[in-house]
Chain A
Amino acid sequence: MLHTIIQISLLAVSISMVGLIYRVIVGPTTPDRVVALDALGVNLIAIIALVSMVQHSKSFLEVILLIGILAFIGTVAFSKFLEKGAIIEHDRDH
C-alpha cells in the first residue's frame, strides 16, 4: 500500500519537475527561470525524501537539508544578481 503511494507520488513529482524544466528552458524571462529552479529544488527535496523511503535509508536526510539551504541561497543570490548585477558588492571596502 505504502509502496504504491510512494510510486504514485514519485511519478507526480517527476511530472511536475519536467514541467518546471520546460519553464527553465523556455521561460520567457530570467525571473521565470529562477522561480522554476527554486521550485525544482523543492521538488528535489520531495524526490529524495521519497527515494529514501523506497530505500529504507536514513542517510539522505542531510541531503534534504542541504538542498533546502542551497535552494534558498541560490535563489537569493540569483535575485540579488538580477536586481543589482552583482552578488557580492564591495562598496564597503572603499
Chain B
Amino acid sequence: MTLLHWAIISPFLAAILVPLLYKKLRSIHTGWFVLILPAVLFLYFFQFLKITAEGKTIKETVEWMPSFGINFTAYVDGLSLLFALLITGIGSLVVLYSIYYLSKEKEQLHNFYVYLLLFMGAMLGVVLSDNLIVLYMFWEFTSISSFLLIGYWYHRERSRYGAQKSMLITVFGGLSMLGGFLLLYLMSGTFSIRELAAMSDVLITEPLFLAALILVLLGAFTKSAQFPFHIWLPDAMEAPTPVSAYLHSATMVKAGIYLVARMSPVFAESGVWLWLVASFGIFTLFWGSFNAVKHTDLKAVLAYSTISQLGLIMSLLGIGAAALHYEHLDENIYGVATMAAVFHLINHATFKGSLFMVVGIIDHETGTRDIRKLGGLMNFMPITFTVAVIGAFSMAGLPPFNGFLSKEMFFTGMIRVLEMDIFNLETWGILFPVLAWVGSVFTFIYSMIVVFKPFTGKHQPEKLDKTPHEAPLGMLISPVILASLVIVFGFFPNILTATMIEPAVTAITQFNVKDSHIYFWHGFTPELFMTLGVILFGVLLYTQLPKWKGIYNTIPERLTLNSFYDNGLAKGERGAYNLTRSYMTGFIRSYLVYIFTFLVGILAVTLIVKDAFTVDTSDLASIGVYEILIALVMVVSAVAILFAKSRLTSIIALGAVGYSVALFFVLFRAPDLALTQLVIETVSVALFLLCFYHLPPLSRHEERMSFKLGNALIAIGVGVVVTLITIASYSTKLSSSISQYYIENVYEEAAGKNMVNVILVDFRGFDTLFEICVLAIAALGIFAMIKLRMTRRREE
C-alpha cells in the first residue's frame, strides 16, 4: 500500500469517522471536519502536476486477487490527474458550500457526509484505477452513493422516484460495462487498461471486439446521461443542491466521459467507436439544449444543460478518435477535438458548478426555483448575480470567458469533420457542424434564461415565501472561487495547456502533444462567424421566446422518453405479475402437470435426438405362465384403483398390487424382498385404513373432461416414455455386472451365506445406516406432528 492507495481509500476511512464526530461534537457543523480531507487530497494531487507535465506516469500496484489478474493498480497520468483534481477541488468547494447550505439542526448531516465521502472515494477509485474490475467496483460504488444522495430527503416521493430511476439506468449500464470488460479479458487475458491499449491493433480483429465496444459504450452513455439514457439526470435534481453541483455537473456524469477517454486507445482503431461516440454525443448536445429551454425549474434547465454539454464533450472525443486514422497527416488536425474536449471538461466543471450553487442560493434565499415566480433579484443579490452572469455567459460561449475558447475549438473540431473521408463521413458529416450550431443557439437561449429571468424584470414579492436577501458569505465563497476560475482560465488559458490539457490529451490519443496554445483570436475563421451567428440568432430567439415556445407542446406526453420509461417499468411489472400468476396457480396438480410434461418432453426429445432407442432381444429370458398371470392380476388391480368409485376399493386394490409384487419377488427368487414387501404392504394398507375416515370422499365427478383427458395423456406419456427408456437401457448394457464379486466373496470375506443381508450390512452397510436414519426421522416426525399442535393450543 503506497500513499497513493491510501489517498484513494482515505474517503472511505473518513466516512467511518463521520457519524462518530457527528454524535460527539454536536456544536460544530460536521462539514468542517469533512472539509479537511478533500482539501488535503487536492494539495496531494496537485504535486503530481509536475510529474505528468513532463510526460511521466506513476503506476503502483497492490495485489488483491492476483490469481484472477485483479489487482488494485493505481495509475496516474494526465487524464486521471485532471479528474482527480476536479474531484477533490470541486469536492472541497462543495463541502464548504454545503456547510452553509445544510442546516446543522434540521438535517441528518452524518448521512449526508458519509454518502458524499463514499462517493468521493469511489470517484477517485474510478479515475485512478488501471484495472478494469477495480474500476468497475468503484463505478458501482458511485452508482450506489449517488442513489443514496439523490434519495437524501427520502420522505419525499419525488426523491425516491429519482433515486430509483437513476439507480436502474446507471446500474443497467454498469452491468453492460462489466460484460464488456469481461469480453475484453476473454480476448486479451488481461484486465489492465495499459496492456489492453498496447494490444489494440490485435483486439480489433477479434470477433468479440464489437460486442465489447458496444457494451462498454452502454456503460459510458448511461452514466454520462447520453441520449436516450439522459432521462435520469433531470429527475436526479431532487437531490440537495450541493449534490447536484458535485455529482450531476462536475464529477459523476463525467465518469462516462472519463471511460470513453480512457478506453479510446483501446477502441478508437474501430470506425464504429468514432461513429457511435460522435453521433450520440452531437445528438445529445442538440436534444439536451433544445429541451432545456422548455423548463421553468432552474435546476431542470441546468440538468438539461449538463446533458447537452456532456454530449458536446462526448462528440469531441469521438471526432478526436479520427486522429488515429490519419497518422499520415503531417499536422494532425483532429487532435484539436480531443484538446477541446479536455478543455471544455474543465470549463464545464467550473461554470456549471458555480451555476448550480447560484441556483441553490436562489432557492435557499427565496424558497423557490421556479422562474415564473422569480424576478428582479439583481438588486437583492448583486454578488450572486455577478457569479451567475459569469457562469451563464461562459456556458453560452461568450468572450472573454473560458466557454468562448472551448466553444470555438468545438466548432473547429466539428468543421474538420467535413474533411474526413472515412466511414461515409463525407456525406453525413455535414450534420455535425449543423447540429453543433443549432445546439449552440439553444445553449445561448437557455443560458440567457438562467441569468436574466430570475435576476432582471419585475420583482414579485407576493409569490415568494421569504424576503430575498444576499446569501451569507460562506455560501458565496465557493461559487465566487469557481467564477474567478472561469475568468482566469478565460484570460490565461495557456496556464492549463502545458500543465493539464496536454498530458491528458497525450493519455487519450497516445500521441505526444507539445507546445499547443489556445488563442482568443484566430482571425476571420468560419468558427468566428458561427459564434457571431449563434449570438445573433440567440438574441433574436430569446427576445421572441413567448411566441415560439408553443412548439414544445407539439410532442404529445405519451411519446416522450420519460413516459416510455414509466410505462415500460409499469408494464414490465404488471407483465411479470400476470405471468407469474398465470402459472403459479397454487394447485399441486398444476405443478405436477408441469413437472411430468417437462419430464416426458425432455426424455422423449433426448430419445429422438440422440436416436437412443434400441431393442435387443438376444438377452431375454423366457416368460412363464405364472408371470403372465400375476402381471394380469396387477394390471386388473391397477385399473381398479383408477376407476374405483370408493376410496376403500382403491385401498384394497392397492393392497392387491402390493401382494402381487410380493408374489413376483417369490417367483424371481428374492425371499428377503418378499418378506419385507408383505409386511410393509400390510402396514401401509393398515395406515391407509387408519386415515380412511378422515379422508374426504373421492371427488372425481367434479373434474372437467378436458382436465381428465390432459391428465390421461400425460400419464400415458410418462408410462410410454419410461417403458421405452427401460427397454432401451436394457438393450444397451455397457459393462458387465459386478455381482460376481459378491457371489465369490460373500462367505470368504464376510462370513455370511445370505448375500442380500451381507450386502446390506457389510459390503454396503453405509446405505443401511442412513435408511435407518430415514426411518427414525419419519417416526419422530409423525410423533411430532401428532403431539405438537401449536395452533390449536394458541386458539384455546
Residues of A whose CB lies within 8 Å of any CB of B are 10-11, 14, 17-18, 21, 24-25, 30, 33, 37, 40-41, 44, 47-48, 51-52, 55, 57, 59-60, 62-63, 66-67, 70, 73-74, 77-78, 81, 85, 87
Contact = CB atoms under 8 A, between A and B. Distances in A.
Q: How large is the interface on B (under 10, 10 to 19, 20 to 34, 35 or more residues)?
A: 20 to 34
Contacts of B626: 10, 14, 51
B383 interface: no
A48 B637 contact: no
Interface in B671-697: 671, 674-675, 678-679, 682, 685-686, 689-690, 693
B537 to A, nearest CB: 98
B671 A87 contact: no
B666 A51 contact: yes
B674 A21 contact: no
B667 to A, nearest CB: 6
B390 to A, nearest CB: 95
Contacts of B685: 74
Contact of B655 (A37, A57, A77): A37
A30 B652 CA distance: 10
Contacts of B26: none
A60 B671 contact: yes
Contact of B653 (A14, A25, A73, A85): A25
B659 interface: yes
Contacts of B640: 25
A21 B636 contact: yes
Contacts of A62: 671, 675
B758 to A, nearest CB: 15
Contacts of A55: 669
A37 B671 contact: no
Main secondary structure of the interface of B (DSSP, over half): helix
Most A-side CB within 10 Å, residue of B652, B685, B686, B690: B652
Interface string B646-672: 001100110110010011001101010
Contacts of B652: 24, 33, 37
A17 B659 CA distance: 12
Nearest to B629: A14
Contact of B656 (A21, A47, A73, A81): A21
Contacts of A81: 689
Nearest to B672: A59
Nearest to A7: B625
Nearest to A33: B652
B633 interface: yes
28 contacts: A14-B629, A18-B633, A24-B653, A25-B636, A25-B649, A30-B648, A33-B649, A33-B652, A44-B662, A44-B663, A48-B663, A48-B666, A48-B674, A51-B626, A52-B666, A57-B669, A60-B666, A60-B671, A60-B674, A63-B662, A63-B675, A63-B678, A70-B679, A70-B682, A74-B682, A77-B689, A87-B686, A87-B690
A77 B686 contact: yes
A41 B640 CA distance: 19
B669 A59 contact: yes
A66 B653 contact: no
Contacts of B667: 51
Contacts of A11: 625
Interface of B: 625-626, 629, 633, 636-637, 640, 648-649, 652-653, 655-656, 659, 662-663, 666-667, 669, 671, 674-675, 678-679, 682, 685-686, 689-690, 693
Given A74-B686, A81-B689, A66 B679 contact: yes
Main SS class of interface, A: helix
B669 A73 contact: no
Given A37-B652, A63-B678, A47 B663 contact: yes
Contacts, number: 74
Nearest to B643: A25
Contacts of A60: 666, 671, 674
Contacts of A30: 648
Contacts of B648: 30, 33
Nearest to B683: A70
Nearest to B665: A63
Contacts of A74: 682, 685-686
A8 to B, nearest CB: 12
Given A60-B671, A62-B675, A63-B666, A40 B686 contact: no
Given A10-B626, A25-B649, A47-B663, A66 B678 contact: yes
Nearest to A55: B669
B399 to A, nearest CB: 103
Contacts of A44: 659, 662-663
Contacts of A40: 656, 659
Interface centre among A21, A41, A57, by most chain B C-beta atoms within 10 angstroms, is A21
A33 B637 CA distance: 14
A54 to B, nearest CB: 9
A73 B682 contact: yes
A57 B678 CA distance: 19
A87 B669 CA distance: 34
A40 B685 CA distance: 15
A17 B666 CA distance: 17
Given A51-B667, A63-B674, A66-B679, 8 more contacts: A21-B633, A30-B648, A47-B666, A60-B666, A67-B678, A70-B678, A74-B686, A78-B689
A17 B655 CA distance: 14
B746 to A, nearest CB: 15
B689 to A, nearest CB: 6
Contacts of A18: 633
Considering residues B640, B662, B679, B682, which has the most beta carbons from chain A within 10 angstroms of its beta carbon?
B682
B643 to A, nearest CB: 10
Nearest to A85: B693
A25 B674 CA distance: 24
Closest 3 CB pairs of A and B: A59-B671, A70-B682, A63-B674
Contacts of A21: 633, 636-637, 656
A79 to B, nearest CB: 12
Contacts of B686: 74, 77, 87
A68 to B, nearest CB: 11
A18 B653 CA distance: 13
Contacts of B679: 66, 70
B19 to A, nearest CB: 63
Contacts of A33: 648-649, 652
A59 B755 CA distance: 13
Nearest to A14: B629
A60 B673 CA distance: 11
Contacts of B629: 14
Nearest to B646: A30
Contacts of B636: 21, 25
Nearest to A52: B666
B557 to A, nearest CB: 72
Nearest to B649: A25
A66 B633 CA distance: 21
A70 B187 CA distance: 73
A30 B651 CA distance: 12
Contacts of B656: 21, 24, 40
Nearest to A34: B652
Contacts of A85: 693
A16 to B, nearest CB: 12
A83 to B, nearest CB: 13
Nearest to A61: B671
A48 B670 CA distance: 12
Contacts of B662: 44, 63
A86 to B, nearest CB: 8
Nearest to B681: A70
Contacts of A70: 678-679, 682
Nearest to A78: B689
